[in-house]
Amino acid sequence: MTAIWRNTLTLVGATTLTFGMAHAQSPELSDPPEIEGEVLGDHGSHTLRMGIGLAESSPQYLSSQYFGEILEQRTDGRITVSVFPNSQLGDDVQMLEMLQTGTLDMTYPSSSATTGYVEELAAFDLPFLLPSREAAVAVMESDVAQGMLDAFEGTGLKALAFSENGYRQLSNSARPVASPDDVAGLDVRGLSVRTMENPVHLAIWEALGANPTPMAFGELFSAMEQGVVDGQENPWSTILTSNFNEVQDYGTETRHVYTPFIMMLSERTWDGMAPEYQELVQEAARQSAEYEIQLSAEYDDWSRDQLAERGMEITRLDDEQLGAFQDAVQPVYEEWAPRIGEDLIADIQKIVEESSN
Ligand code: TK8
């Protein structure tokens, strides 16, 4: 079944023009898995409103649409999901609070925005913790990660599933960056870099000699456009689908942190659902999260190459240059590992090692 929204993407995503050059708006994307399973009996109706931060062409939006399709098909339309993209309902922190008060049903924040609720999630903010997507997926699928989702119980938030925001890359409008010295600026001022509102990310960019500025994602484009900040850090697909390349000339493939997304449902909404619907919502969240990771992987390198094609100067680091970044942020580990939990980090590192065997 070809969903309307996929056709819409094809229409919207077909091309965008830069100086007369036509650019594809999305890579060849895998179709979502066929929706299987019987239609559930009538356990009432729910119209779920979901706010997300990213754009309609993002893996986050496409997989959220798929999530809605599963629910609609499996309940014969008794559960529908309306997805509001581009931070139009608020930023991660605001939308989480809206779930707690019941004024919004769902949102899809970065894990970094949720460490105030479950401190263990800050493990994902430790720099260079997860060396590959395979390792990251193994951790997100582990009992350790499920324990973090379960720990939201009682906060007003039902954490359904992890998916991929992805490896974070530095972009800026001031200069090419190939080393921490380029970030800090030896004979010029350090870069002002927007970070998520998360203490570990602040520590990372302080350790690299930047002037970090915590800021909501929804304010970021205009802050870069007005020169309030020089740069930011996000996965290539976010930089592309949020059009950051229109106000950022330089990119550096730092891959300094792998950030998960967490699909969240208001506990009030969850508690108002029949058990049959709760089971379906949980399963649909897992299926759409798995699809999101696949789309994010298909978008990743393609987005970097698209950004270069559209004029962004991309610096890819060799092992020695990457090592300089890893060395510079080692103090962040030393400061934060004990606060997050050495045993938890050891458990995660064990999963990482096993995933490479
Ligand atoms: C979108 C955010 C974004 C995150 C950030 O809601 O704030 O930079 O990486 O993707 O969660």
DSSP string, 294-351: HHHHHHHHHHHHHHHHTT-EEEEP-HHHHHHHHHHTHHHHHHHHHHH-HHHHHHHHHH
Give me the amino acid identity at 316: R
> pLDDT (tens digit, 0 to 9) for every residue of the chain, 357 residues total?
344 444 444 444 445 555 556 677 788 999 999 999 999 999 999 999 999 999 999 999 999 999 999 999 999 999 999 999 999 999 999 999 999 999 999 999 999 999 999 999 999 999 999 999 999 999 999 999 999 999 999 999 999 999 999 999 999 999 999 999 999 998 888 999 999 999 999 999 999 999 999 999 999 999 999 999 999 999 999 999 999 999 999 999 999 999 999 999 999 999 999 999 999 999 999 999 999 999 999 999 999 999 999 999 999 999 999 999 999 999 999 999 999 999 999 999 999 999 988
Instruction: Output the CA 138–ligand 1 centroid distance in Å.
Output: 22
| Cα-to-centroid distance, 233 and ligand 1 (Å) | 10
User: Ligand 1 centroid to 75 CA: how many Å?
Assistant: 31
Instruction: Please state which CATH number belongs to domain 44-164+259-301.
Output: 3.40.190.170
Is residue 224 lining ligand 1, measured as CB closer than 6 Å? no
In single-letter form, the type of residue at position 310 comes to R
Helix (H) or strand (E) holding 213: strand 211-214
Beta partners for 258?
Answer: 167
Which mutation among 84, 195, 196 tests ligand 1's pocket best, with the greatest number of atoms within 8 A of CB?
196
User: Which ligand 1 atom sits nearest the alpha carbon of residue 238?
Assistant: 10
Backbone φ, ψ for residue 88 (5° rounding): -70, -25
Distance 122 CA to ligand 1 centre (A): 15
Distance 35 CA to ligand 1 centre (A): 29
- Judge contact between 56 and 37, C-beta under 8 A: no
- 250, amino acid identity: Y
Distance CA 236, CA 168 (A): 7
Could you identify the atom of ligand 1 that is nearest to the CA of residue 168?
9
What pLDDT is attached to residue 356? Answer: 86
Whether the CB of 110 sits within 6 Å of ligand 1: yes
Q: Return d(Cα 266, Cα 105) in angstroms, integer.
A: 5
Give CA–CA dist 332/280, Å, rounded.
Answer: 41
CB within 8 Å of 319: residues ≥ 6 apart: none
Determine the Cα–Cα distance for residues 136 and 139; give it in Å rounded to an integer.
5
Planar angle of CA 127, 164, 266, nearest 5 degrees: 110
Q: Which helix (H) or strand (E) holds 100?
A: helix 92-101
Residue pair 244/221 in contact (Cβ under 8 Å)? The answer is yes
Ligand 1 proximity of 238 Cβ (cutoff 6 Å)? yes
Provide CATH 3.40.190.170 ranges for the chain.
44-164+259-301, 169-257+309-355
Nearest CA to ligand 1 atom 4: 110
Ligand 1: distance of its center to the CA of 237 in Å?
12
The CATH class for the domain spanning 169-257+309-355 reads: alpha beta
Where is 200: in which H helix or E strand?
A: helix 199-207
Q: Is 242 in the pocket of ligand 1 (CB under 6 A)?
A: no
